[in-house]
Amino acid sequence: MVAYALSILAAGGVVVLAALLFRKVRRAEDDRDPGGPSAGHAGAMLSALFLLVFAIAIIVPWTTADAARQNTHAESQAAVNAYWAAAALPPDDARQVRSALRDYITFVVRDEWPLMAQGHMDPVGAARMDALRGRVSALTVSGTDQEDAKTDLLSHLGALSSARAQRAADAAATPPDGLLFLTVLTGLVVLVFPFMAGARPRGLTLLPMLAMGALLGFGVYLTWDISHAFAGPLAVGPAPFQAALQEFSRIGGSM
């Protein structure tokens, strides 16, 4: 924050220095008109700055949510692949592994998903995944088919664990520090700039100002509301995991 404050002071100092220097170098007229070149140039630049910050504040969460949505599909597919791979294990082991996978996915949908809207995961989920991988690693199998099935299963569980780690990162992801504050600040500056420049709108001329203020307020609120991948209007839902549970039932019924 100190660096930000110093950069603002430095930019303000440049403006003051330029005003003093050009006043001495050549003759110029005072610009007190709210629609004059100074106010027009400053207004255009402030509007451009707000649009730039606003675009970043929208694009960053949108991109994060899109990546999180793709990752949930990859994670659920890894669970389905692991469920299929368990079929070639000894019958008792296959039932245990499949039961553990069903319990894990059910836990994610029912218990863990609401927590992700708050930006964190349930450590119980990671413990369950570690326990399952450890159990599969300790399985005693015989024959080439069962060895291959165990190897494939461990590979799918590894992909599932990696996708879970990425989901944890997506749940904790937030826009860059200060971006939301800068969005609010630039929005307020754009809103009050005409008054700062000396304009005094009256009557019907207030309607465009009110409309602009309402839209700016909505836009600023939107940037805050979509700042988390698993909460708000862009929230990533557990539909892929619910579909995986349905796939488990279908696979179990077809065996």
What pTM value is reported for the model? 0.75
Residue range 191-206: average pLDDT?
A: 72
Residue range 213-221: average pLDDT?
A: 83
Angstrom distance (rounded) from CA 154 to CA 85: 9
Q: What is the pLDDT of residue 67?
A: 92
Q: What is the pLDDT of residue 199?
A: 66
With a cut of 60, say whether residue 122 has pLDDT above it: yes
Q: What is the pLDDT of residue 202?
A: 73
With a cut of 90, say whether residue 166 has pLDDT above it: yes
Tokens of 24: 């001495």
With a cut of 70, say whether residue 119 has pLDDT above it: yes
Give domain limits for the chain. Answer: 44-254
Helix 123-137 × helix 144-172 angle, to 10°: 170
With a cut of 70, say whether residue 186 has pLDDT above it: yes
Q: What is the pLDDT of residue 40?
A: 62
With a cut of 80, say whether residue 36 has pLDDT above it: no
Angstrom distance (rounded) from CA 15 to CA 79: 60
User: 238 falls in which pLDDT band (50, 70, 90)?
Assistant: very high
Angstrom distance (rounded) from CA 157 to CA 130: 9
Q: What is the pLDDT of residue 88?
A: 87
